[in-house]
């Protein structure tokens, strides 16, 4: 695929990042509480990092390596966070889902809504068989999102990542295509 997808949910629009998103990315992702709860956000988030990160998205999408969406509010098109599929392996039909939500938007269900949409995209459009995710044990809210969308606990990598001066356990969840569709059919 060469056309970047746009995903619409009841409250959200998931679209590709544009350079004008960079200042808000730096503000939201640069918050220590957000950055230190995630696996891949640099901290501190320095000037120019957001622009550089956004610039990599198109090429990685065209190479089928990853697809990164800006999570925006559907009505106002303001940035809430980011979500994406990375480590896409079309041969084995797997990918890792990752996400972050800006602190002003925590505990409003946006993350669960975005994760469900990206799982649907991964299974329907990319024809993946398995999507997995990891969260820090110190961030149980992220684990609850994974549980809400039907992902299954698969294990824990103890003190796997050193983040913001602390060793963090990485808790692994996964969902298979048939599990996703079974769950979807049972909720309709």
User: What pTM, to 2 d.p., does this model score?
Assistant: 0.95
pLDDT for the residue 2: 75
pLDDT in tens, the chain (188 residues): 678 999 999 999 999 999 999 999 999 999 999 999 998 898 899 999 999 999 999 999 999 999 999 999 999 989 999 999 999 999 999 999 999 999 999 999 999 999 999 999 999 999 999 999 999 999 999 999 999 999 999 999 999 999 999 999 999 999 999 999 998 888 76
Q: In the structure encoding, which two tokens stand for residue 20, read together?
A: 């004008």
User: Which domains occur in the chain, in start order?
Assistant: 7-186 (3.40.630.30)
* Contact by Cβ (8 Å): 42, 49: yes
Buried b (16+ CB within 10 A) or exposed e, 2-13: eeeeebeeeebb
DSSP letters for the chain? --SPP-EE-SSEEEE---GGGHHHHHHHHTSHHHHTTSSS--SS--TTHHHHHHHHHHHHHHTTS-EEEEEEETTT--EEEEEEEEEEETTTTEEEEEEEE-GGGTTSSHHHHHHHHHHHHHHHTS--SEEEEEEETT-HHHHHHHHHTT-EEEEEEEEEEEETTEEEEEEEEEEEHHHHHHHHHHT-
């Amino acid at each position: 695929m060469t056309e970047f997808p746009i995903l619409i949910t009841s409250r959200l629009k998931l679209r590709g990042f544009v350079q004008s998103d960079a200042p808000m990315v730096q503000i939201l992702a640069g918050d220590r509480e957000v950055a230190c709860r995630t696996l891949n956000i640099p901290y501190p988030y320095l000037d120019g990092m957001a622009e550089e990160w956004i610039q990599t998205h198109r090429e990685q999408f065209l190479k089928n390596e990853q697809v990164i969406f800006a999570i925006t509010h559907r009505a106002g098109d303001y940035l809430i966070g980011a979500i994406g599929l990375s480590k896409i392996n079309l041969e084995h039909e797997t990918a890792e889902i990752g996400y972050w939500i800006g602190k002003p938007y925590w505990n409003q269900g946006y993350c669960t809504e975005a994760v469900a949409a990206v799982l649907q995209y991964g299974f329907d459009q990319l024809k993946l068989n398995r999507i997995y995710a990891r969260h820090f044990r110190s961030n149980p809210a992220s684990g609850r999102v994974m549980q809400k969308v039907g992902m299954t606990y698969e294990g824990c990598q103890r003190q796997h990542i050193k983040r913001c001066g602390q060793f963090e356990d990485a808790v692994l969840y996964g969902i298979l295509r048939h599990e996703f569709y079974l769950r979807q059919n049972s909720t309709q």
